[in-house]
Each structure stands twice: as structure tokens, then as C-alpha cells.
Structure 1
Amino acid sequence: MRHAHEDPELLALVRRYVTPERRYMKLSGSLLRMHGPEYDRFLQQLSEDAGVITANEIATLLEGGWRERRTAAWLVAVSRRTEFRERLGELLLASEVCCVGLAYCVALASFGTPRDAELLASYLDRYLRCPDLAYDQAVAMGALLYIGLNLRGDQAARFLMPGGLWQQWLEGASHMQSTTAPGTYLSLIRRLCAFVDECAEAA
């Protein structure tokens, strides 16, 4: 992992794309609470940056910490850079840093292909077997459900069947049961992907 405080190249990118107006903090579910001029400005600036950032700059940000990776994943989603699909899938599966899984899931859901579903399913296959780890299982499930609806498939069915991995995970992670209804996270992913689409159209 690269650290901005000791990496001039990464620091320059952080100052350009990550920290202005605390963008990295807003690139989460909290962006759905923005309204009016604040929302419009945020959307326009993200759209513009997604249009100018280079592939090499995105790759560099994805080597940084959670702030850099979160921002990069959103820029990937908005700019439709599907060439980063496999890299995002690798980073999601590795779960090296906190606070960025939602961004990976939104990007994969926004691409919405069978391969994106496979990457999300790989994550769920691993981490639903770890009830002591409450990482991004819920948002990954929401993303998988979202892709399934758009592809008119049922990629999530094997996880959600009675006695399946989802139920097993919830039984082991009882502290998560009240907040992990799959439909709740499907709704969240749908709204965040609508924001991605709006940004992409503004480019």
C-alpha cells in the first residue's frame, strides 16, 4: 500500500481528486442526503473529474488507503472504466482496508454484467462463511441482487435459500440481523447506481 504522506505522486492525486471539499467522505450513502445546489455542484465536479482522470492515475489511487480507493472506485464507475473490473473485484475480495467495500460494490453493480455478478458472488462465497467478520456482505448482496434484476436472473438465489450461506452468516452474526434485510441494501445500491448514471450523463 502506498501512503500519501511519503509519496509525492500519490499526494498530488489526493489533493486533486480526493480531498477537495472532503469528497471522499461524501462518496457513500451520505451523498443521498444532499439536495439543491450542493448536490448539483458535487455531481458536476465528480462528473468532470471522472472525464479527465487518466487510467494511470486511477491505478495509483487504487494503491493508496481507503480514501484514495473509495474515490477511485467512484471515478471508475462514473467514467464506465470497465477495464478496472477485475482489479476492483480483487480489492473487494482482499478487503485490505475498511470503508471502501460499498464503493467497489457500486462500481461492479453499475457495470452490471454476468462477470460483475461472479466477482460479487466470489466475495460472498468467502465472507458469508465468516460470521465473525462484518465487512461488506450486506452491500455485496444488494449489488448482486441489483445485477440479477437487471439481467433477469437469480444470481443471489443460492445464497438466500433456506439454510443457505446468508442465513448461516446471519445466525453467526446475530448483531447484524436487524440491519441486513437484503431488500434494504438492494434499495441502497439502486439509488447509488442512479446517481452514477446521472453523473455519467452529465459528462
Structure 2
Amino acid sequence: MPSQHPEELGHDHVVESYVTRTYGGLPRYLVLNGGRFLGPRWWHTTRFTRHLLNDAAAITDKELDALLGYEWRSRLTAAWLIGVDRRERFRARIGDLLLASEVCYSGSAYCFALARFGTHADAEILTAYLDHYLPRTDLHYDQPAALGALLRLDCLLGNHHADGFLEPDGLWDEWVKGMGRLGYPSHIPAEQRRWADLQCEFANGWRRL
């Protein structure tokens, strides 16, 4: 589906209000994508967190739809707002966007949202994504983020969806080898799980400030 600028849908304000607002000279979407707010030394964490919480609660579903129908910056930000507020009614939309993988960077935010929802349905979406994209050893999309989110959900839900991917010389090992041949660094499952935990536990610890 071709993207539409939110102004075409009567929401011309949403990009400026939710996506490009700056913190320490950086727009929100870059802060979210880089994860610097998860570290202890970023001076703007309190202000950034307060605004993110407030916006996640205040943004309407129609505004989120407008952001999800636009480009990667808007989709990434929308997915984070959806995940923070745990708007599970967007599960199917997030899952469709993740599986389509139409744009760069936003996929990791979809994985965060699914990890935050924390249900068997979310684990199934992540499993379907890995089933589809791990055999593609020529593509570096969001396989690491999806595996990290799935490992977290397996632990929380008592599932073993990720086990099949992590068998010796299985899909994960073959994908990592393929990425190595393309010059990408290796991805360690435990590190991907740690990153998913860090994002979600940080979100779980937020309070309205």
C-alpha cells in the first residue's frame, strides 16, 4: 500500500507533534531508534520519558493510523507509542507491517510493541516472521530484534518457539553465517534477549511524571 502523508488524512500536525519533537538536539524518532534514553547518563531522559508517556496516552487511534501509513520515522514512533500504552487493538496492524517489512528501521519498534503486549498471539507473529525471514541469508532486516522479543516472550509464557531456530546449524546459525559473508557483525541471541528485556523492563518501570 502506498504511503500517505498524514496531512492528506486531515492529521497534518502529527509528525511535528509526535515524531520530530527534539530532545538534546535530536528528534524523538532518532532517540527511540538509538536507545540512548535507556542509558543512565543521558541528561534528557526524564523530560523525554515524561513526554513519551503523555503522548502515548493522548494520541488517538486515528492519529496512530496516520503515522503507521506514512514513512519509517512515523511508523517507528507510532509503534513505540503503541507499545508504551499497550494498545493491543493494533496487534494485527503491527504484525502485518512487520511481516511486510516495507521500510527500514521501524521493524525493531514493531518487535518492541509485540514484546510489550506479551501474549501467545504476539509470539506467534514473531515466529511467523522468523520462519519467513531467517531462511533469507541475503537479507539483514529485523531478525535479531524479532528473536530477542520471542526469547523474552518464551520465558514469560513458558513457550519454546525460539528453540527450533536456535538448534545447532539451524536457521539462526545459517542466517548469522550469511550475514557474516555480507560483512555484518555476529548477533548473539542472549544479547538480543537482553536488549528486549531492557526496553520492556524500562517501560514497565515508567510512571506518569
Q: Same fold (TM over 0.5)?
A: yes
Structure with the greater relative contact order (CA < 8 A, sep ≥ 6): 1 or 2? 1
Aligned partner of 2:51 in structure 1 is 45
TM superposition shift of 1:195: 2.3
Aligned partner of 1:91 in structure 2 is 97
Aligned partner of 2:189 in structure 1 is 182
TM superposition shift of 1:166: 0.8
Query: Match for 1:131: what amino acid?
Result: T
TM superposition shift of 1:5: 8.6
Which of 124, 135, 157 is residue 130 of structure 2 equivalent to? Answer: 124
Q: Distance in 2 between matches of 1:65 and 1:159?
A: 31
Q: Distance in 2 between matches of 1:83 and 1:137?
A: 24
Aligned partner of 2:30 in structure 1 is 25
Q: Distance in 2 between matches of 1:153 and 1:65?
A: 34
Is 1:67 matched with 2:73? yes
Bigger Cα displacement from structure 2, 122-131 vs 151-160: 151-160
Which of 102, 111, 120 is residue 117 of structure 2 equivalent to? Answer: 111
Query: Match for 1:163: what amino acid?
Result: D
Deviation track 1:98-141 (CA, whole Å, cap 9, x = no partner) reads 01111000110111111100000111001101010011111110
Q: Distance in 2 between matches of 1:143 and 1:114?
A: 12
Aligned length: 202
Structure 2: gaps spanning 5 or more residues: none
Corresponding residue SS for 2:177 = helix
Does the 8 A contact of 1:170 with 1:176 survive in 2?
A: no
Structure 1 residues 85, 6: closer, same or farther in 2, change over 3 A? Answer: closer
Q: Distance in 2 between matches of 1:60 and 1:46?
A: 18
Corresponding residue SS for 2:138 = coil
TM-score normalised by length of structure 1:
0.92
Does the 8 A contact of 2:7 with 2:13 survive in 1?
A: no
Aligned partner of 2:82 in structure 1 is 76
Which of 160, 163, 166 is residue 160 of structure 1 equivalent to? Answer: 166
Structure 1 residues 109, 12: closer, same or farther in 2, change over 3 A? Answer: same
Is 1:149 matched with 2:155? yes
Query: Match for 1:18: what amino acid?
Result: V
TM superposition shift of 1:36: 6.0
Q: Distance in 1 between matches of 2:131 and 2:59?
A: 33
Q: Distance in 2 between matches of 1:167 and 1:158?
A: 11
The structure whose residues are more often helix, as a share, is 1
Aligned partner of 1:191 in structure 2 is 198
Percent of residue pairs identical: 42
Structure 1 residues 112, 6: closer, same or farther in 2, change over 3 A? Answer: closer
